[in-house]
Amino acid sequence: MIKVVIIGSGNLAFHLTNECLKSNAINLVQVYSRNIENIEYLKSKTSITHNLKNLKEADIYIIAVSDNAIADVSSQLMLQNKLVVHTSGAIGLNELKSQSNKGVFYPLQSFSKSKKIDFTTIPICIEAENKKDLKILEKLAKLVSNKVYYISSDQRKSLHVSAVFVNNFVNHMYYIGNEICNSNNIPFEILAPLINETSKKIESLTPFEAQTGPAKRNDTKTIEEHLSSLNKNQQDIYKLITKSIQELYGKKL
Amino acid sequence: MIKVVIIGSGNLAFHLTNECLKSNAINLVQVYSRNIENIEYLKSKTSITHNLKNLKEADIYIIAVSDNAIADVSSQLMLQNKLVVHTSGAIGLNELKSQSNKGVFYPLQSFSKSKKIDFTTIPICIEAENKKDLKILEKLAKLVSNKVYYISSDQRKSLHVSAVFVNNFVNHMYYIGNEICNSNNIPFEILAPLINETSKKIESLTPFEAQTGPAKRNDTKTIEEHLSSLNKNQQDIYKLITKSIQELYGKKL
C-alpha cells in the first residue's frame, strides 16, 4: 500500500481524493485544507486537518493547490526524507520549497468538481529528483491511470503552453462561434457534430493534414465576406489566425 | 421515391452520392462530373455524364461543386420548373443562376473522402423560395439525416463564419499545440484526452462557463512565462486571444 497525504481541496484535489479512496492499493491517510469545512465530507473516510504542522506519516505528499500557493505551502512542510510533489503543469520542480525530496505528479486534464472524470484515461506526467522517487511516483500514477509519461520540468512548461492553445484558446473559439450564433438566432447545437468531428479528426490525421477552410484555400472573397459580418474583436482574431494559416500553407493575402 | 441528380464529384458530392445510393426512398438517377474519370466507379450503379446538357429528369438537382463554380455551373443548367439547390454554407440562394426554382441543402460538416461519415448525425440546413420546394427538401433531408433546420441565407452566412471559428480556427490551435510539442520532443498524443474533454465539455456547459486557464484567472506570471517560450507568430496569437478572454471576464492586463 502506498500511503498518501493530499494537500488541497480544489477541483484536482477533489478528484484525486476520490481516486485514492477508490483504490485498494492506496492508503489515503489524510487530507489537508486551509478551510476545514471544504473537507468535512471526508471525515468518515480519512483523517482531515487544517494545520500543516499536523500532517501524518506517508510515502507521498501531494500538493494540489493553486500555482501561486505552491511555494508558500511547500515551505511550511516540516518533512524530511519524504517525497513531496506538486500537481501543476506550469511550475518547475524546484519551486517546491520543502526540505524533502521533490517531485511532480501532473494529471493533464481540465477538472471541474461537477463533472465526473474517468481518471484511467488521463495522462499523468511525472518527474522526480532521483530514480527511487520516480519509481514510487510511477507506481502511484499507474494505480490511477493507464497513461504515465516521464516529462521534465522544461518539457512540462511547453506542454502547459500547448494545453493553453488546445484547451483554453479552443474553448474561446467555441465562445466566439456561440456569440455569432446567438446574434443571429441560430441554435449553437447545430455546430455540435462539427465540433465533435474536428476534435476526432486529429486522432487519424495530423492537424496540418486536417486543416480545411477559406484561409487554407486562400478564398479571399469568402474571407472578406466573413470579416464584414464580424465585430472588431472577432475581426482581429479572424484576421490574425487566417494570416497564420495562409502563411503556413504558403499563400499570402 | 425522390429522384435526384448530383452535380459534382468532390468530397461532399462523394458522400452525398453514397447516401443516395444507400436509401430505398431516393432514386439517384444521375451523377455529373466535369472529369468523367472521377465518377467512372459509379457506372454500374447509376447514369454518369460530363455534359450538363444531358442531365436526366429529376425532382432535385444538387450542385455540390466548389463555391466559386456555383454561379457558372448553375447558369449552364437548361432546366425549368425543377428544383436546383446548392450545398454551400457561404453562398446565398440567389447566387444560383439557373432559370429553375432555387434552394439550399447545406450539410454542416467537414468532409474528406477517406473518412467515413455517419450522415444521420449531420445537421442539414435547408432553404427554398417557396413552401412546396421546402417540403421536398425537408423530405430529402430527413431521409439522410435526423437533424434538419430551416436556415435563411443570412443565417447560413453567419453559421458559416461560426463554423470557421469552431472548426478551421480550432484546428489551427491544435496545429500550434502540435508544433510546440514537436519542438520539445513531447508526444502530441498526451494532449488527446484534453482535446476530447474540451469538445465534450460544451455539451453540458456553455463555452462561457467552460472557460478555464491563465487568461481567465488573469494569471499574469504564467502568461509572461508562456509568452517567453513562444515564437513570434505563436506570441501574436497567444496575446490576442488572451486579451479577448481577459476582456470577456472583466480583467485587463
On whether residue A102 sits in a domain, the answer given is yes
On whether residue B204 sits in a domain, the answer given is yes
Query: What's the gap in Å between the CA of A54 and the closest CA on chain B?
Result: 31
Cβ of B163 within 8 Å of Cβ of A211? The answer is: no
- pLDDT band at B116; cut points 50, 70, 90: confident
Counted domains in chain B = 2
Q: Residue B113 maps to which CATH number? A: 3.40.50.720
Instruction: Give bridge partners of residue B102 from the DSSP assignment.
Output: B84
For A159, which residue in chain B has the nearest alpha carbon? B181
Cell of B197: 474533454
Q: Residue B239 maps to which CATH number? A: 1.10.1040.20
Residues A133 and A32 in one domain: yes
Q: Which residue, B55, B236, B8, B28, is CA-closest to B144?
A: B28
Residues A110 and A32 in one domain: yes
Q: pTM of the entire structure?
A: 0.86
Q: Which residue, B218, B237, B238, B236, is CA-closest to B226?
A: B238
- Interface confidence (ipTM) of the complex: 0.87
Q: Are residues A145 and A123 in contact, defined by beta-carbon separation less than 8 angstroms? A: yes
Residue B172, domain extent = 156-248
Residues A30 and A90 in one domain: yes
pLDDT single digits (tens) B1-47:
999 999 999 999 999 999 999 999 999 999 999 999 999 999 999 99
Residue B138's φ and ψ, nearest 5 degrees, are -65, -40
On whether residue A118 sits in a domain, the answer given is yes
Residue B251 has pLDDT above 80, yes or no: no
Q: Cα angle at A207 between A205 and A209, to 5 degrees?
A: 60
Cβ of A164 within 8 Å of Cβ of B226? The answer is: yes
A162 contacts on B by Cβ (under 8 Å)? 176-178, 180-181, 186, 191
A233 contacts on B by Cβ (under 8 Å)? 244, 247
Alpha carbons B223 and B214: distance in angstroms, whole number: 6
Residue B175 has pLDDT above 70, yes or no: yes
On whether residue B253 sits in a domain, the answer given is no
Instruction: Give bridge partners of residue B6 from the DSSP assignment.
Output: B31, B62
Alpha carbons B197 and B201: distance in angstroms, whole number: 6
Looking at residue B115, its pLDDT comes to 73
Residues A138 and A17 in one domain: yes
Residues A81 and A142 in one domain: yes
Q: Are residues B240 and A240 in contact, defined by beta-carbon separation less than 8 angstroms? A: yes
How many angstroms separate the first and last alpha carbons of chain A?
62
Q: Are residues B147 and B124 in contact, defined by beta-carbon separation less than 8 angstroms? A: yes
Cβ of A194 within 8 Å of Cβ of B166? The answer is: yes
On whether residue A253 sits in a domain, the answer given is no
Average pLDDT, chain B: 94
Residues B183 and B136 in one domain: no
Cβ of A211 within 8 Å of Cβ of B68? The answer is: no
State the average pLDDT over residues B93-101: 91
On whether residue B19 sits in a domain, the answer given is yes
On whether residue B127 sits in a domain, the answer given is yes
* Percentage of chain B exceeding pLDDT 90: 86
Cβ of A187 within 8 Å of Cβ of B149? The answer is: yes
Nearest to B241 among A90, A198, A237 (CB): A237
Residues A147 and A162 in one domain: no
Looking at residue A251, its pLDDT comes to 66
Residues B83 and B173 in one domain: no
Residue A133's φ and ψ, nearest 5 degrees, are -65, -35
Residues A139 and A166 in one domain: no
What is the secondary structure of B167-229 as a DSSP string? IIIHHHHHHHHHHHHHHTT--GGGGHHHHHHHHHHTTTS-HHHH--SHHHHT-HHHHHHHHHT
Mutate to test the interface with A, among B70, B199, B203 (most CBs of A within 10 A): B199
For A192, which residue in chain B has the nearest alpha carbon? B203
Cβ of A221 within 8 Å of Cβ of B248? The answer is: no
Contacts 24+ apart (CB under 8 A), A220-229: A220/A253, A221/B68, A222/B67, A222/B90, A223/A253, A225/B90, A225/B157, A226/B160, A226/B161, A226/B164, A229/B157, A229/B158, A229/B161
Q: Are residues A189 and B159 in contact, defined by beta-carbon separation less than 8 angstroms? A: no
Residue A93's φ and ψ, nearest 5 degrees, are -55, -40
Q: What is the DSSP letter of A57?
A: P
Cβ of B183 within 8 Å of Cβ of A158? The answer is: yes
Mutate to test the interface with A, among B67, B112, B166, B234 (most CBs of A within 10 A): B166
Nearest to A199 among B195, B214, B230 (CB): B195
Query: What's the gap in Å between the CA of B81 and the closest CA on chain A?
Result: 30
**Which positions ≥6 away from A134 have C-beta within 8 Å?**
A103, A126, A127, A128, A150
Domain boundary among B128, B151, B174: B151
Domain boundary among B124, B151, B178: B151
Looking at residue B98, its pLDDT comes to 87
Query: What's the gap in Å between the CA of B44 and the closest CA on chain A?
Result: 32
Residues B19 and B126 in one domain: yes
Q: Are residues B215 and A168 in contact, defined by beta-carbon separation less than 8 angstroms? A: yes
Residues B57 and B120 in one domain: yes
Which ranges of chain B does DSSP label H, i.e. alpha helix?
Answer: 11-22, 70-75, 131-144, 153-163, 170-183, 192-201, 207-210, 214-217, 220-228, 232-248
Residues B230 and B142 in one domain: no
Cell of A46: 480519512
Cell of A215: 484561409
* SS3 state at B132: helix
Domain boundary among A102, A134, A151: A151
Q: Cα angle at B150 between B148 and B152, to 5 degrees?
A: 140
Cβ of B163 within 8 Å of Cβ of A236? The answer is: no
Residues of chain A with pLDDT under 50: 253
Mutate to test the interface with A, among B111, B127, B194 (most CBs of A within 10 A): B194
Residue B253 has pLDDT above 70, yes or no: no
Residue B221 has pLDDT above 90, yes or no: no
On whether residue B72 sits in a domain, the answer given is yes
Cell of A47: 483523517
B125 contacts on A by Cβ (under 8 Å)? 190
Cell of B87: 450545398
Looking at residue B232, its pLDDT comes to 97
